């Protein structure tokens, strides 16, 4: 079981990191979600992996550590809220700049030389929409 959980966490982290390094906001958001899944599973495992044990100490009986479960709950709430926030942020960024690229070059250009012409991405999006 340890092998399975560990490799699952490793795979999710690797996927998350790969997606975060992409240049568009959607893969970055999905990557962040993967990373937070990996972290949640990791936090569970840190209280040692036990199956079918209650998180309550009774004399003589085996138990599982309840603290990681409380920590995971907090982590899930926070990462869920943050994912919602960054989705909205990515969407607003796309609507206001006409591009979902995550580099700052467009924004910089707008600041240095006045509003930039609509980027290649926006054109491509529009063409795509027209074709559809």
Partner 1 sequence: MNNWIIMPAVLPAFTAAFLLLTLRHRPQAQRIVSIVATALGLLVAIGLAVAASDGVPQAYRLGDWPAPFGIVLVLDRLSATLLVLTGLLALCVVLYASAGWDRRGQHFHTLLQFQLLGINGAFLTGDVFNLFVFFEVMLIASYGLMLHGGGPARLKAGFHYVAINLIASALFLIGVGLIYAVTGTLNMADLALKVPEVVPADQGLLKAGALLLFLVFATKAALVPLHWWLPATYAATSAPAAAIFMIMTKVGAYAILRVYGLVFGAEAGALALVAAPFVLPAAVVTLLLGTVGVVGSRSLRSLSAFAIVASMGTLLIALGLFDQAGVSAALYYIVHSSLAGAALFLLAGLVLEGRGATGDRLLPGPAMRGEVLVGGLFLLCAVAMVGLPPLSGFLGKVMILEAVRSSASWPWLWALILGSSLALTLGFVRAGSVLFWASGPASSETRRPLAILPLTAIVLLLALTGAWTGAAGPAMVWMDATARQSLDRASYVEAVLGPTNQRSAGLGE
Site residues (vs partner 1, CB under 8 A): 20, 25, 28, 32, 35-36, 38-39, 42-43, 45-48, 67-68, 71, 74-75, 78-79, 81-82, 85-86, 89-90, 92-93, 96-97, 102, 104, 106-108, 110-112
Among residues 114 and 131, whose Cβ is nearest to partner 1? 114
CB of 12 to partner 1, least distance (A): 11
In terms of Cβ atoms closer than 10 Å to its own Cβ (0-12, 13-18, 19+), residue 16 is: buried
HSE, side-chain direction, 13 A CA sphere, residue 79: 18
Distance CA 40, CA 54 (A): 20
Q: Is 62 or 131 the residue whose CB approaches partner 1 more closely? A: 62
What letter would DSSP give residue 118?
A: P
């Amino acid at each position: 079981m340890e092998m399975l959980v560990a490799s699952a966490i490793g795979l999710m982290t690797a996927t998350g990191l790969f997606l975060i390094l992409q240049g568009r906001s959607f893969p970055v958001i999905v990557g962040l979600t993967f990373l937070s899944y990996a972290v949640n599973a990791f936090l569970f495992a840190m209280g040692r992996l036990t199956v079918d044990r209650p998180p309550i100490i009774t004399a003589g009986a085996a138990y599982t550590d309840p603290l990681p479960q409380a920590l995971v709950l907090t982590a899930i709430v926070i990462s869920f809220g943050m994912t919602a926030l960054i989705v909205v942020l990515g969407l607003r960024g796309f609507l206001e700049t006409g591009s979902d690229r995550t580099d700052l070059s467009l924004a910089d250009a707008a600041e240095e030389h006045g509003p930039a012409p609509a980027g290649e991405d926006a054109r491509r999006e529009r063409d795509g929409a027209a074709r559809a």
